[in-house]
Amino acid sequence: MFDNILTILIFFPALAAMLGFVVDKGSIRSYGVSVAAVEFILSLVLWYMYDPNVVGMQFMESVPLIPSFGISYLLGIDAISLFIIILATFFTMIGIASLGETKNIKNMIVTLLFLEMTMVGVFSALDAIVFYVFWELSLVPMLYLIGAWGGPKRIYASIKFFLYTFTGSLIMLVGMLFMAYYYNQATGTWSFSILEWYRLVLPENMQLWLFAAFFMGFAIKVPMFPFHTWLPYAHGQAPTIGSVILAAILLKMGTYAFVRFSLPMFPDASVFFMIPIAVIAIIMIIYTAMVAYAQEDIKQVVAYSSVSHMGVIILGTFALNVEGISGSVFLMIAHGVVSGALFFLVGVIYDRRHTKLMSEFGGLAQVMPRYATIFGIIMMASVGLPLTINFVGEFLSLLGFYKQSHILTLLAGTAIIVGAIYMLTAYKKAFFGEVTKEENKNLPDVNRRELVALIPLVIITVWLGVYPKPVLGPINNSVEAIVSLMHEKAVTQDAKDRIPNPMVAKISTQNGGTH
């Protein structure tokens, strides 16, 4: 059965979702939780079976779909995809388990399970077309989540979300088709396999155009400045669970795709665009942090903070060395955990008061001490305190980029300042001071259902902050493979210099260390 574990992981939730339609309404919740739990355990089995010492893809499956065009159902994972898949199954599980009173709960659970299929699909696809199919399919359940369970402006928000990201994806699709065409020109055969594409050395000019096409799709998904404005609307209108999944997993598709496609396929273009992209990342970090600081609605603070942190991920990715990319992949996980947790936390207070305006709160630390504590821990993780999960990723990302540019890293490093400013201010507004509003005086503290989601997230936040090795180790090996591929493939001398060969670097410092 383990030969097809990826296929099972992808289609088990979809099948279960279809069966879900006939499940009795009273037991749909436990049905959903059990399916998601089985899926999560399966993903843990995947982790258990994954061999971190093997370079390259594991659990590969290949079934030809359209042989004449080289399109096949090609799956496989390395450590970079592995942990995001686990993150996706984990969030689906705790998301369903902590669902509150929801209308049409059956449809909601079915939607979430379909969404799970697309997420696992995106992160395990190694064929560009299969990747694209899952990438686009993921829009549908999310569109439905926002449009059916969202706030008053849900239709505007969901259509904006859909059309905006869809536009970007279409440009990406053109890039993919051209890439396949070029592959055909160069080798005489058709292939959409990413692994085959890796082997192709493209002239620099070609790389630049293709990089730009892929970039549009990825950048809107991340979302990178100035393509980020769909996100505040989507988060503003989405139900809690929608925001959680969106922030924790869906945004990672963009950053993951940079690591999976852009870097190894276009190493020279990556070097060429490194500085402009770093500048965008810095704008994301500082500018959206300022916008976050100006917000009155706590969910918007979290939404913009999420964009700000994505800036650091992008920066780490384009550090183009092992330290930076490992850090950025780790930060993807960290950002998923922390911003997912923050959206859960915002949901807790929204469920109680049906408002997200910070001016409506104040003094919550007195009324809801447990809630305030958990929020405090997650906030400190978001601010990047050492021994929390975020610090490891943020530190490594910035450390990595420092090798490329001192000044830009100094600017990007302001993330730790501006992040503290908006977060602490928001926390102060909501939790400190006297309880002024009558409605807030008797708010119940977090209940058991909410703790089901929050406690594991807090544990992960601290555990991977103190001991990141189980995750960082495998990621490091996969990233080393990518970086050495990039170094080998690079056409220009500049790129060869900018992208260090991890193997050589290792040997030289070992020698340096002993002297």
Partner 1 sequence: MEFYLYLALFSPLVGSLIAGLFGASKKTLFTGLITSALIFTSFVSSFMLLLHILGDGEPVHVEMMTWIATGNLYIPFGFIVDQVSVVMMMVVSLVSTVVHVYSIGYMDHDKSFNRFFSYLSAFVFSMMVLVMSDNFLGLFIGWEGVGLCSWLLIGFWYHKESATWAANEAFIMNRIADLAMLIGIFLVYWNTGSLQYHIAFPAFATLDSSTLLMIGIFLFIGAMGKSAQFPLHTWLADAMEGPTPVSALIHAATMVTAGVYLVVRANPLYDLIPDVGYFIASLGAFVAMFAASMALVNRDMKRIIAYSTLSQLGYMFVAAGLGAYWVALFHLMAHAFFKALLFLGAGNVMHAMDDELDPFKMGGLKKSMKWTWIMMTLASVALAGIWPLAGFFSKDLILEAAFVEHHYVLYTILLVTAFMTAFYSFRLVSLIFHGKERHKEYGFHPHEAYKFVLIAMSPLAILAVVAGFLFKGSYIEMVTTLLPATEYHLHSETTFWIMNIGTQLAVGFSIAFAYMKYENAKIDKKVESGFLYKLLINQYYIPYFYEEYLTKPYRELSSVAWKHVDLKVVDATVDMIANIFYETGEKTHVMQDGNLSTMLRWMVAGTALLLVLAVAFTVGYSVLVG
The residues binding partner 1 (CB under 8 A) are 160, 163-164, 225-230, 287, 290-291, 293-295, 321-323, 326-327, 363, 365-366, 369-370, 373, 380, 385-387, 392, 395-396, 398-400, 402-403, 406, 409-410, 413-414, 416-417, 420-421, 424-425, 428, 431-434, 466-469, 472-473, 475-476, 479-480, 502, 505-506, 509, 512-513
Please say which residue, 214 or 225, places its beta carbon nearer to partner 1. 225
CB 421 within 8 A of CB 428: no
The rounded distance, in Å, linking the Cα atoms of 428 and 24 is 45
The span from the CA of 318 to the CA of 398, in Å, is 10
Closest CB to partner 1 among 2 and 467? 467
Secondary structure class of 467 (helix, strand, coil): coil
SS3 66: strand
Tokens 């405090």 sit on residue: 376
Closest to partner 1 by CB, 93 or 329:
329
Return the number of the residue (116 or 480) whose C-beta is nearest partner 1. Answer: 480
Q: How far is the CB of 266 from partner 1 (least distance, A)?
A: 22
Shortest Cβ 411–partner 1 spacing (Å): 10
Nearer to partner 1, 242 or 500 (CB): 500
Question: Left if phi > 0, otherwise alpha if psi is -120 to 50, otherwise beta: which for 472?
Answer: alpha
- Nearer to partner 1 by C-beta: 41 or 155? 155
Residue 59: what are its φ and ψ, rounded to 5°?
55, 40
Helix 406-413 with 415-431: angle, nearest 10 deg: 0
CB of 236 to partner 1, least distance (A): 12
* Closest C-alpha among 432, 474, 305, 317 to residue 381: 305
Which among 330, 196, 483 has a CA at the least distance from the CA of 188?
Answer: 196
Q: Give the relative orientation of helices 415-431 and 298-317 as an angle to the nearest 10 degrees.
A: 160
Extract the tokens encoding 61.
């499956």
**Residue 473 CB, nearest approach to partner 1 (Å):** 7
Q: Concatenated DSSP letters for 389-443?
A: HHHHHHHHHHHHHHTT-HHHHHHHHTHHHHHHHHHHHHHHHHHSS----GGGGG-
Q: State in angstroms the smallest separation of the CB of 135 from partner 1.
A: 21
d(CA 485, CA 467) in angstroms, rounded, equals 29
* Nearest distance from C-beta of residue 324 to partner 1, angstroms: 9
> In angstroms, rounded to a whole number, what is the distance separating the alpha carbons of residues 29 and 247?
23
Nearest-approach distance from CB 153 to partner 1, in angstroms: 13
Task: Give me the least distance between CB of 367 and partner 1, in Å please.
Answer: 11
**Of the two residues 89 and 440, which places its CB atom closer to partner 1 in the complex?**
440
Q: Which two tokens stand for residue 100?
A: 């509150």
Min dist CB 405 to partner 1, Å, is 11
Between residues 184 and 425, which has the closer beta carbon with respect to partner 1?
425
- Are 310 and 222 in contact, with CB atoms under 8 Å apart? yes
Judged by beta carbon, residue 203 or residue 470, the one nearer partner 1 is: 470
Closer to partner 1 by CB, 108 or 322: give it.
322
The distance of closest approach from Cβ of residue 124 to partner 1 in the complex, given in angstroms and rounded to an integer, is 24
Closer residue to partner 1 (CB): 26 or 513: 513
User: From the CB of 121, what's the least distance to partner 1, in Å?
Assistant: 28
Least distance in angstroms from the C-beta of 434 to partner 1: 5
CA-closest candidate to residue 476, choices 121, 127, 83, 120: 83
Name the residue among 250, 436, 444 with its Cα closest to residue 348. Answer: 444
Measured distance CA(341)–CA(453) in Å, rounded: 8
Can you tell me the distance from the alpha carbon of 10 to that of 121, in angstroms, rounded to the nearest whole number? 6
In the complex with partner 1, the residue whose CB is nearer, 32 or 327, is 327
Closest approach of partner 1 to the CB of residue 492, in Å = 23
Measured CA to CA, the distance from residue 129 to residue 499 in angstroms comes to 29
Give residue 363's region: left, alpha or beta (phi > 0; psi -120 to 50). left
Structure tokens at 297: 């609605």
Q: Pick the closer one to partner 1 by CB: 491 or 505.
A: 505
